[in-house]
Structures are given as structure tokens and as C-alpha cells.
Structure 1
């Protein structure tokens, strides 16, 4: 079957979903031997960076399905997976879905104590670990450790049970929120919800010219990581999944840049933090010419980071001499979250783009968006900030073992994403903050920390990243701290106070207590690299004199 016909067949076949992509590719006659999925680690004796074909993938998944079946794992059994490598995440994800079980994927950067609580709250049937996370064995988990991830590939693929046949509503994965405001919360995804955007958009949009090679620096254990792999498999794109995610860890940007130079992808996927880490480097000194597209999801990316990326890479362009690679690339910014299942908004940037200031573009066709006044439930008018409400087939059905939290986030038939946004007369949406981080200053003035960070970065070119913390205790006035992380070579002793005040605006500047240059460990990050502002606000309040 031709690639175009295969994409059409997969989009129309309602049996296809996030839990059975390899099976459905085989049933629809996909070429079993073309390169498809690569990892940066060895897989059952297959060297790192060696692409797995559909035949290889099916066999390696079947071996793991046999291993789990011998452990007694079957339909509807939740199994926690706490590992480092992307290969261990994806191969065991597919294997458990083959059995009709429910893989509960945990970010490998989660602290051990937090991970133990997550597993207990899951109330599953077991947990799979690797050597990096063996310390979890010392905790009371309430379930057995099934074994080490290194063992799972030793199963017999010829003895694996037949593939479970999923219904669209069947749970196929449990992932978790970023944990920026609380303990990471388990979020359940269904066979169809985690595939809805692939079916509606990714299998029907025009295929790019020439071969497509995608590099994923997304956390493999995140919903976005699962979606990117499934959409690449269905589209016939070759994809490399890095285990060293795009989070905030030593040398993360360098690891990603090295992988780009070695593997020569046409597209790179990451979170907003990925681009911050790449911004540490002089990108003009790296060989990034293969990259045509940078694709971001999760938080809205910062203008200063986007401009650095679109200045490098290439764009296929027709000229009198034929098709050539012109300098400059495209950045696709997609605002999403674990609970949204897939990004609901998107906007494209190229060199010379000027629609920034946290513009997240317009909704995807499958997403119905309303900006709501949460007191009345009514939609707010154009230009006024409201809470983002979303109706979408991509939405996660809810929080695992927590119906209270599930229903608390629903209003008038919408899921409340926790984002504060406004829209303009042209229908473009702008993200200003998370509900938990914004502060009412009174008199119609608000302090939006995310928007403030965006404007500080735009005003201070030697600042690589910025965190704005605003807190108030009781009836006391709010105080604001601005933490700056500098580009290499920037003067840490330079007084940037006036520039920061100008960026914040008069009302917010009146609350400013300090502007401080900090090292990376001066900011508290969660497992996915997001700043844990809730935790850091407590530190701000601890420094506020009583009786103020």
C-alpha cells in the first residue's frame, strides 16, 4: 500500500488508536522492513542509533508482552513504569497495551520519595524499574516490583498472547501532570482520546517534501511523547527518541545539539524548556542545517528563544535553479498540557515574524475554546482575560482514582485548563499566566507572571531565562521577585533594575522587591523542567517581614 493510501486507511479505520498502532500498521499492509524508530540506547542487543523496522518493533514488543504475561499481567492491570531510557518506556508501553493492561508512565526525573507516593496512589498491580531507580525498592509501594526493565526483552515473542482488541474508550496510558503546583497527578488517556489529533490532523495534513526524520527531545513518559511516536509511525516518518529529554539537567542542550548534528533530523520536538537550554549555546557554530521545523508543546515558548532557532536551520525553496535549502527555519508553537491530551492551539513563526507577546495562535479545528468568567460561567468579551475552557476529543477522561479533581475542573461542559488568556479581534489567543500564579493588584490591575517573564526577556537581551514570583500573605500587599539566569559572558553585577521595571509596567513595578541573578540551582524545577512556582512562593513569603 502506498504511504498516502496507508495514511488515509488509518485515519478512516476507527479500530486504530493509541494502544495498537504497530498492530494496525501490520494489518493495513505497511512495509515491515523500512526504518522507523531509533533510540539512543541499545535494545536487546541492537546497537543504539540503529533504526528498528516495524518487524523489529513488533518482535521486541511481543517479547516484552510474553514477559509481562508470565508475571500474570493482563487486561485492565495498571503497571507503573519508572525508567530512564526512552526505549524502556515505549517498548513496554506497547507491550502492556498488547495485553490490554494500562501502562502508568513516570518521568524518570521524579524524586524517589514523590515516586513512591505516586505508585501508592496509583493502586496498581506492580511496578517496573531500571537500575537508575532501584532505590524505589526500599519504599513501601503497596505493590510488588515486577523486575528490572533490562529483563523484559528476554521473553519469547512467539509465545506472546494475541493482541487485545481495544474499544475507543479503553484506558491505554496513565501519565502525570508536571507537578508545578502539587504532587504529580495521574492522568488517564483513552485509546481514542490519545489518537484523536493524529486522526483529525496529522494523517490528513499535507506530507512535507522529501524524507522526514524527526527527533523527539520530549519526555518519553509524557502524553506528548506518546503522540509524537504514534504519529510518526502512522505517517511513515523516521523518528529518534532521546532518553536525555529536553529538561533542565547538566548538558541537556549540548546533548540535543550533538544528536541533531549526528542524526540530521528535519524536525525537532521539545517543551519550552528545551529551547531555553538550546539558547545557552551559540547556534550559529553548530551544524543545524537539516532542521526545517522546531515543534514545541506544553508551555508557550518565549520569543527570544524562538528567534534564535528560526535564524538557523533551512527551508526548502523553489528557485530558477530548482529546489534549494534557503537559510532559516520554522517554529511551530503549540500550547497544551497532559490533561488536554494534545495541544489545542498553534502558531507558526519564521524569520521576520512579529506576532509574539505570548500569542499562541488559533485553536485546532477539533478544539472548541471558550474564555470564561469562572464566577458566572459566561464567556468574556474580546480583549478581556478569562479562564480557558476546552471541549475536545483529545481530552483525557480524567484523573486516575480522583473523581473529585476530575469534576472540579469542569464548568458548563468545558474542561478548565488552568490557563488565563485573552483573544483579539482577529481571533488570535494570547496566554498571560496560569491561574495559580496570577495576582490581583486591585483597581483593575493584575500581575501576570508568565507575561512579565516574556517582557523581561524581550527587554534584557543578556538574560537567557527569567522567573517572576509574586506572593501576598493575608491582607498584606503583594511582593514580586524577579530571578534572572544570564547568557554566558553576561555581567552578573550589572544593575538591570530599571530595565526590569520598564518591562513590568508601572503597576507591577510598584510591587517589585528585588531583581536577582541566580544560577540554575537557584530555581526549583519539577520533573519536566517547569519552574515549581508554588514551592518558590513559599520562600518569598518566608522572607516578607511580619506585619507589613
Structure 2
């Protein structure tokens, strides 16, 4: 096997995609004893933290496919997967796509009531659950048969599995869902080629630094994990997947498994930045890869200060202290991050800069009338790319509402500068028009507060409008060593634009447990707004400072 030639061959093979990469590699017959995926839990008798070879992974997937086939699961059948562990999510996805069924991966942290309604709207033919999630669904109306417990699916003889389904590029192959921060998560259908498009692009490029040994600290039901699994398989590299993305869990995994790169979301970087990273053994990490929401400068700077990276200079290739942080902006619907920018200890382009578009991305900025905007003008980000999802499952109304002139309307507010760099300022649903050409961008305000106030670990700005008046609250989560009783209102207001500072009526130090989060760790600002409009306060008298 020539790895260089194989990468080029896979990139050129239009039959290959998200639904059949594993079976394609197995059919090639090369590298069957090479390590592939490592899980943090025991699964089907295979120990935790012990890599499955390509052949072993194929056997585990075939065994599950055989069981599901015996249960009557057929090609094009949507099947919900509502489990806790990364192992069960990934193996179930691979087994169902081997059959040509359509796995609908459900984040294990989705509340039971929402999960039941979401599953009901899928109109799936069955639900794969573990014991914990089976109990949460008990007695709820989700109108879908429960399949045997996920722990029983790997018991069949792999040899009895039917031959792999023949996928086609534009067919739906997996369903993942949005973060659910504004309501019920939206089911997003991805095609055989859409989630593979970014991988196909990367296979045509030199293998990136840090790609040889990856740690996936991503929600295992997310499209980003599906991409990560296939990226690792296509490049014949090792990928370890953790089922919990909390800061302590991820740091423990880094120390014990020693990855060269770590893939995660902004919520995980925030938790890592709140830890004493100097006390941890993180030298193996050369690259932090972010997807989803762009990361905050305050968190990025703490991460790139640790680890080590290879660098080419006058004296050749050397290893330097400090790591890379690859940032961007993506979403479930976009199918992959559409932008990229690389930070090192020596770079200084922040301010929510998400970089420049990937080569496969056509990025435009629209005003409310659908006209394209030029440099320096804030508008809604619109994307045309081969990575885009097919649309929303069983919801053509929302699908077509978010499409315009061949573009997907992302709901993100951005602008670009004269040099072609894009900057993310807010989600459209969270920004507020203050009149006279002034606008309040909550995400940009959070960025400025975090950059200016080193004792603040995380910050949430929530703006509400009532009776024609806009007021905003600044919710602070502090570093452990910071004094929670100190008055930080002056430094917080000084970090904001004057027209934004004028709207702030309170600066509150809060227990992070009081901030409502979606299953992927995003703050549910829509819920906070409704609470504030109802008169609910999160801070105590001692911790609340009127600005």
C-alpha cells in the first residue's frame, strides 16, 4: 500500500463517501491490522482505550449490521440512535449505513421530552437506545418502536451480514441535528457526498500536521464526529473518541493517550482555559482544531501557550514551544467549517476573525433584501458549498426558507474586511437594532469583555427589548481564584462600545450551573431572554451590581 497514492485514489473515486468508506477500505484489503478507532468505553467485549484494527472495526460493524438486518431494518429506513457512549453512536452509524439505512443520531444530552418529540417527527422505523435512555423515554409518546438494547446488537455473526449497500452521491445517508438553542433541535439530512466533500478536499492536499493521532472531543452524535471518523479512516490515522467533552475529562484523555491534535467545540475550549494547563502534560498536542462556533481570543491564547509544534526555519525543521489553533465557523447545516484561520503565539488577528473561506466555499453576505454586501458591511452569511446538507428532514418549509439563489442562509451576522478576512459578530436572533444605525451584537460584546478582563472565564450577554427600550445583562463566570464579590462593572462597561454600554443595567456573577445550555454546550439565550422578560434574576443581591 502506498499511502500517498491511496489518498489520491480515494479523493478521485466518486463512488466513495460517508456511507461506504469503511467497506471500501476493507475491500481494498490493505492495512487490515492497522489501528483505527479507540473508544473510551468497553464495547462488544472490546476493552476501553484499546484501538480497533481496521479488520476488527469491520467485524464489529458487520456484527451489528447482521443483527439490525435480522430485525427487518432495510435500505432507506430511518433509525434513531439515542445513546450515551461515543462507541455506540459511531458503531451504530457505521452499521446502519452498511445496510443502506439512514441513522438519525441523537445527542444523549437532549432532554427526554424534547428527544421524544424529535424522534416522533423523524417518523423513524425504530429507536436504538441504551438502558439509561430507554428509561427516560418510558411512558412518552414518540410513536416509534424500540429496538433491542444497543448492548445486544453486536452479538451476531459478522459473516451473516448482507453485502454492503451501494450508496449514491446525492442520497441521504445520515441525519444529525442542530444544537437546539432556540427550541426543538432541527433534523438535518446529509448526503453520501456532502459530508465527504471536505475530506475529499483534504485528501488532495499534503497531510496536515497533527493528523497522525487525533483526539475527538466532539459530541459523538454531531456531524463533526461523522466527518472526524471518516477523516481518520481515509488518512489511515488513529482517532480516539471521548463520550464526555468536559474540560477535566478531555485533559485526562490528552495526558493518557497523548494525541497530536484535539478536535472540539468552543464550549470545551472554554472549560480547558479555566483549568491550570501548566500543571498538565500537554506537550504531545501540536494542533487544536475548532469547529462550530468560532472560539474566543481569551481561550485560544491559553491553549496555544501549551503544547509544541513543528516549524520550518533557516535551520530546517525544528520543534517549538506552543501549539497551533485552527479556528473557523461551521454548523450542522453547513456540513463542515467554511472558514479557517490558524493562530500561534506569534499571530494577532482576533476580534472574532474566522479567517478566509475554504477553497470549496462560496461565501456571500446578504442584506435583508437579499442584496450582496461589500467589505465592512454587516449582514447575514450565505454559503454555497458541496458540504451543505440536503435540508431539514420532514420539514421542507424550513428547508426552502433558508435557501436563496443557491445559497444557504446561516443565520450568522458577519462582515469581511478589504483583505478578504471574515469576522463573526453574532447570531441574527441574538442581535438587537438600537436605531440610528447602531446595533448590539451580543457575541462580539462577549469577545471584548473576555479579552479585556482576564479574571472572567466565560461571559454571556443577553439583550431584551420591552416597551421600546433595550436593556442588556452581562453574566460572568469567574476563574476560581477571582473574588466573586468584587465590583467589575467599570471594567466590563469600558470594554464595550459606548452605545452597547448604555444598555447594560446589571453585571452579574453567576454560578455556571444556572446558565441554560443546549446539548452541545451552547448557551440558550432565547430561554434567558424569556426568563428576564418574566422578571427572573439569576444573581443574588450580593453578586449583582447595577451598572
- Give the Å deviation of 1:321: 8.5
SS of residue matched to 1:52 = coil
| Alignment-derived partner of residue 155 in structure 1 | 156
Residue by residue, what CA displacement relative to the aligned partner does 1:5-52 show, whole Å, maximum 9, x if unpaired? 111110010010000111111233431111111000112111101101
| Alignment-derived partner of residue 307 in structure 1 | 301
| 1:361 is aligned to 2:361 | no
SS of residue matched to 2:263 = strand
The more displaced of 429-438 and 37-46 is: 37-46
Q: After the TM superposition, which residues 91-490 of structure 1 pair with which residues of structure 2 at under 5 Å, given as runs?
A: 91-135=91-135, 136-200=137-201, 202-208=202-208, 212-244=212-244, 246=245, 252-317=246-311, 324-375=318-369, 377-473=370-466, 475-490=467-482
- Give the Å deviation of 1:323: 5.2
| Alignment-derived partner of residue 545 in structure 2 | none
SS of residue matched to 2:43 = coil
SS of residue matched to 2:374 = coil
- Give the Å deviation of 1:506: 1.0
C-alpha separation in 2, matches of 1:213 and 1:197: 19
SS of residue matched to 1:483 = strand
C-alpha separation in 1, matches of 2:211 and 2:498: 51
C-alpha separation in 1, matches of 2:209 and 2:216: 20
The more displaced of 461-470 and 44-53 is: 44-53
Task: Give the TM-score normalised by the residue count of structure 2.
Answer: 0.96
- Give the Å deviation of 1:209: 6.1
Residue by residue, what CA displacement relative to the aligned partner does 1:207-259 show, whole Å, maximum 9, x if unpaired? 24688100000011000010011011101111001111x2xxxxx21111010
Is contact 1:6–1:28 with CA below 8 Å preserved after alignment?
A: no
Q: How many residues align structurally? A: 536
| Alignment-derived partner of residue 249 in structure 1 | none
Residue by residue, what CA displacement relative to the aligned partner does 1:43-86 show, whole Å, maximum 9, x if unpaired? 21111011011100110000000110111001110000000111
- Give the Å deviation of 1:325: 2.7
| Alignment-derived partner of residue 72 in structure 1 | 72
| Alignment-derived partner of residue 540 in structure 2 | none
C-alpha separation in 2, matches of 1:418 and 1:210: 32
Is contact 1:9–1:28 with CA below 8 Å preserved after alignment?
A: no
C-alpha separation in 1, matches of 2:283 and 2:210: 15
C-alpha separation in 2, matches of 1:407 and 1:298: 22
The more displaced of 29-38 and 221-230 is: 29-38
- Which 5+ residue runs of structure 2 have no aligned equivalent? 538-547
The runs of 4+ residues in structure 1 deviating greater than 3 Å are: 208-211, 317-324
- Give the Å deviation of 1:508: 0.8
The more displaced of 319-328 and 444-453 is: 319-328
C-alpha separation in 2, matches of 1:307 and 1:511: 29
- Give the Å deviation of 1:417: 0.4
C-alpha separation in 1, matches of 2:168 and 2:471: 52
- Give the Å deviation of 1:285: 0.8
C-alpha separation in 2, matches of 1:318 and 1:383: 35
- Give the Å deviation of 1:544: 9.0
SS of residue matched to 2:518 = coil
- Give the Å deviation of 1:268: 0.1
Residue by residue, what CA displacement relative to the aligned partner does 1:476-510 show, whole Å, maximum 9, x if unpaired? 21110000000011011111111111112210111
- Residues 326 and 517 (structure 1 numbering): CA distance in 2 closer, same or farther, change over 3 Å? same
Is contact 1:34–1:54 with CA below 8 Å preserved after alignment?
A: yes
Task: Give the TM-score normalised by the residue count of structure 1.
Answer: 0.96
- Residues 352 and 323 (structure 1 numbering): CA distance in 2 closer, same or farther, change over 3 Å? closer
Residue by residue, what CA displacement relative to the aligned partner does 1:409-457 show, whole Å, maximum 9, x if unpaired? 0122211000000000000000000000000000110000000000000
